[in-house]
Amino acid sequence: MNIIIAGGDGFCGWPTALYLSKQGHDVSIIDNMARRKWDEELKSNSITPIADLKERVEKWKELTGKEIRTYEGDLNHYDFLKEVLRQERPDAFVHFAEQRSAPYSMIDREHAIFTQVNNVVGTLNVLYGIKEMVPDCHLIKLGTMGEYGTPNIPIEEGYLEVEHKGRKDVLPYPKQPGSFYHLSKVHDSHNIMFTCKIWGIRATDLNQGVVYGLDTEETQMDPILANRLDYDGVFGTALNRFIIQSTVGHDLTVYGKGGQTRGFLNIKDTVRCIEIAAENPADKGEFRVFNQFTEEFSVLDLANKVQKVAQEEGFNTDVAHLDNPRVELEDHFFHAENTKLRDLGLEPHLLTDEVIREILRTVMNHKDRVIEENVLPSVTWK
């Protein structure tokens, strides 16, 4: 298949591009390098050194003989996007190209507006581009489990059967997003669902949990192919952040009580889920929702797991409960369905002590790159 990866220079997009290329698909990347610019803005960095995109794809071709074409530009620039679609004529468009950090969206008014305009308008442009240029193309959109919030009932995969005053219907599952970033994803989902209905777009919305891990088989082939790994209070996700904190002698920073429970998955499962969605496309006019995670943990569960492995590796670290910078429930019911991807063949990589140990040992090689003042949260919701 011809597959475009928008956001293909990022944490999820880069390993996905390599994996799909290795599987024999004809892959191209769209990226505006925004994630690298946000590092400069925040005076932060990836703990792993990352090569520029040109070097990365050249090394991939040298090692495998497979070409990944790159287009540097912004989905908010519609003429650019249309030209890429005209040249590539993709069978699938994988859309990672959004501002992905809840804290970044909550810094101030400008960052909230940027996040929503960048994400919502970019996705609208993709929808119009598919309609006008490649109407049979399958949109595979990265959503988030954070669209649902933490309702006191089980979370279904996109839809809920409701009985009300003697009548029944199947309706989109209610959304309770917890940041301006998560709201942008909800707006995307509504826009995609609407265009599936009116234009016959075929789309899969992957409501992904929190991703952990660093390497896939492909990114381990050469240091030039290394993936980024974030640890700061703005872009670092819980598990990766805890592992990095443990290696530099920092307390593991649990926000509030630590009972906040979420769905998690390994980066190796992210790339496989994209392959499953691509090879089993939605029907024309279908808006399909998969909950893309493999296990559920509370934040305190994760901190305790990391603390145990860190101590076995000779790092004595404490768990510290910080005042929660977010406005969220810290003790709540959480259960979500995630059977659709498994039914299509996903075999999950589960979070074992060995998985944590592998990430920790990789991090140890680069711990001199940690900017310690960036580890603590600096953005508050209030």
pLDDT value of residue 21: 99
Domain hosting residue 25, numbered range:
2-374
- Does a structural domain hold residue 198? yes
pLDDT value of residue 88: 98
pLDDT tens string, the chain, 382 residues long: the values are 999 999 999 999 999 999 999 999 999 999 999 999 999 999 999 999 999 999 999 999 999 999 999 999 999 999 999 999 999 999 999 999 999 999 999 999 999 999 999 999 999 999 999 999 999 999 999 999 999 999 999 999 999 999 999 999 999 999 999 999 999 999 999 999 999 999 999 999 999 999 999 899 999 999 999 999 999 999 999 899 999 999 999 999 999 999 999 999 999 999 999 999 999 999 999 999 999 999 999 999 999 999 999 999 999 999 999 999 999 999 999 999 999 999 999 999 999 999 999 999 988 999 999 998 999 999 999 9
- Does a structural domain hold residue 350? yes
pLDDT value of residue 25: 98
Is the C-alpha dihedral spanning 230, 268, 360, 250 positive or negative? positive
Q: Which amino acid is at 129?
A: G
Q: Are 210 and 238 in contact (CB under 8 A)?
A: yes
CATH assignment at residue 170: 3.40.50.720
pLDDT value of residue 182: 98
pLDDT value of residue 314: 97
- Does a structural domain hold residue 242? yes
- Does a structural domain hold residue 304? yes
- Give the end-to-end CA distance of the chain in Å, rounded to a whole number: 46
Please identify every residue annotated as catalytic: 144, 181, 185
- Does a structural domain hold residue 382? no
pLDDT value of residue 297: 98
pLDDT value of residue 27: 99
pLDDT value of residue 350: 95
- Does a structural domain hold residue 214? yes
Query: What is the tens place of the pLDDT at every residue in 10-47?
Result: 999 999 999 999 999 999 999 999 999 999 999 999 99
The whole model's pTM is what? 0.98
- Does a structural domain hold residue 381? no
- Does a structural domain hold residue 12? yes
What total of structural domains would you count in the chain?
1
